[in-house]
C-alpha cells in the first residue's frame, strides 16, 4: 500500500499517474498549501513540499520518499511489470536519469522563477527581471527537449517512460509570457499522447479535469 501526498497541478501529478500505471493500491492525501505544514507532515518531508510517498512494504516496514524524480524511479523499480523505465545499467536507463535530472534541476526550477520570484531575489523591484530570466531559460530548455523528442514521440523513442510523465506535468504549467508547449510540435505531440493514456486520465479526473 502506498500513500501519496499531493496538491493540485503540482509535480505530484506525475507520481500519481505512475501509481495509476502500476495498478498498485494507494491512498491520496491532499496537502493544504495555504496553511503552515504540520509537524507530522514535516516528519515526512522536511522541505514541507509535495510530493511525498510512503511505501508500506509489509512486516511493519515503511519507506518514506520525497522529490518527484526519485519517487518516479522508485515506483518504476518496484513495479518492473509496468515498464515505466528501462533496464538498470542500460544506455536507455542512463538517458532516463539524465532527462529526469534535467527537468527537475533546470526546467522546473525555471518555471518556479515565474511562480515564486521572491525566492530568487530579496529586491522586490528585481522580481520582474527574475520572471523574465526564467522565461528566457524555459524557452532555451524547451527547445532542447524539442530536439530530444525527434523522432520520438517519447524521450526514449517509441518507449514510454517516467520521463514522459514528468514532462506532462510541466506541460500544464503556463505562466503569463512564458513559452507554451503548443509552440513546439514534438512537445505538443508528446503531451497529447501522455494525456491520452488511461492511467493519466484517471489521475486527471482526481485532479479536477476529465479530458
Closest Cα to residue 84, out of 98, 97, 100, 73? 73
Q: Is the pLDDT of residue 145 over 70?
A: yes
- Give the pLDDT score at 16: 98
Task: Name the burial class of residue 70, with classes exposed (0-12), middle (13-18) and buried (19+) by CB atoms within 10 angstroms of its CB.
Answer: middle
Closest Cα to residue 208, out of 21, 58, 28? 28
What mean pLDDT, rounded, does the chain reach? 96
Confidence of residue 33 (pLDDT cuts 50, 70, 90): confident
Confidence of residue 209 (pLDDT cuts 50, 70, 90): low
Report the length, in residues, of the chain.
211
User: Which residues have a Cβ under 8 Å from the Cβ of 6 and sit 6 or more positions away?
Assistant: 12, 13, 15, 16, 28, 29, 30, 31, 50, 51
d(CA 42, CA 34): 15
Q: How many Cβ atoms sit within 10 Å of the Cβ of residue 151?
A: 7
* pTM for this model (two decimals): 0.95
Residues 40-49, mean pLDDT to the nearest whole number: 94
User: CA–CA distance from 124 to each of 34, 74, 119, 120 (Å)?
Assistant: 22, 40, 11, 10
d(CA 47, CA 182): 33
Closest Cα to residue 91, out of 153, 149, 157, 143? 157
Provide the sign of the torsion angle of the four alpha carbons 43, 169, 163, 81, taken in this order. Answer: positive
Q: Is the pLDDT of residue 210 over 80?
A: no
Residues 154-166, mean pLDDT to the nearest whole number: 98
Q: Give the cell for residue 82.
A: 509496468
- Give the pLDDT score at 110: 98
Model confidence pLDDT, tens digit, residues 71-130: 999 999 999 999 999 999 999 999 999 999 999 999 999 999 999 999 999 999 999 999
Amino acid at each position: 500500500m502506498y500513500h501519496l501526498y499531493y496538491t493540485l497541478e503540482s509535480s505530484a501529478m506525475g507520481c500519481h499517474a505512475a501509481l495509476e500505471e502500476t495498478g498498485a493500491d494507494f491512498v491520496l492525501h491532499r496537502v493544504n498549501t495555504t496553511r503552515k505544514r504540520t509537524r507530522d507532515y514535516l516528519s515526512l518531508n522536511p522541505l514541507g513540499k509535495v510530493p511525498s510517498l510512503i511505501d508500506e512494504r509489509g512486516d511493519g516496514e515503511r519507506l518514506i520518499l520525497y522529490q518527484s524524480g526519485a519517487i518516479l524511479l522508485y515506483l518504476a523499480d518496484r513495479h518492473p511489470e509496468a515498464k515505466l523505465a528501462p533496464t538498470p545499467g542500460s544506455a536507455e536507463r542512463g538517458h532516463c536519469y539524465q532527462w529526469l535530472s534535467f527537468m527537475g534541476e533546470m526546467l522546473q526550477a525555471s518555471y518556479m522563477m515565474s511562480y515564486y520570484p521572491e525566492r530568487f531575489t530579496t529586491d522586490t523591484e528585481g522580481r520582474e527581471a527574475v520572471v523574465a530570466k526564467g522565461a528566457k531559460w524555459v524557452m532555451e530548455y524547451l527547445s532542447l527537449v524539442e530536439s530530444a523528442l525527434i523522432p520520438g514521440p517519447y524521450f526514449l523513442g517509441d518507449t514510454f517512460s517516467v520521463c514522459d510523465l514528468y514532462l506532462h506535468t510541466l506541460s500544464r504549467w503556463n505562466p503569463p509570457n512564458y513559452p507554451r508547449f503548443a509552440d513546439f510540435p514534438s512537445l505538443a505531440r508528446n503531451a497529447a499522447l501522455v494525456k491520452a493514456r488511461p492511467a493519466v486520465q484517471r489521475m486527471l479526473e482526481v485532479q479536477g479535469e476529465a479530458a
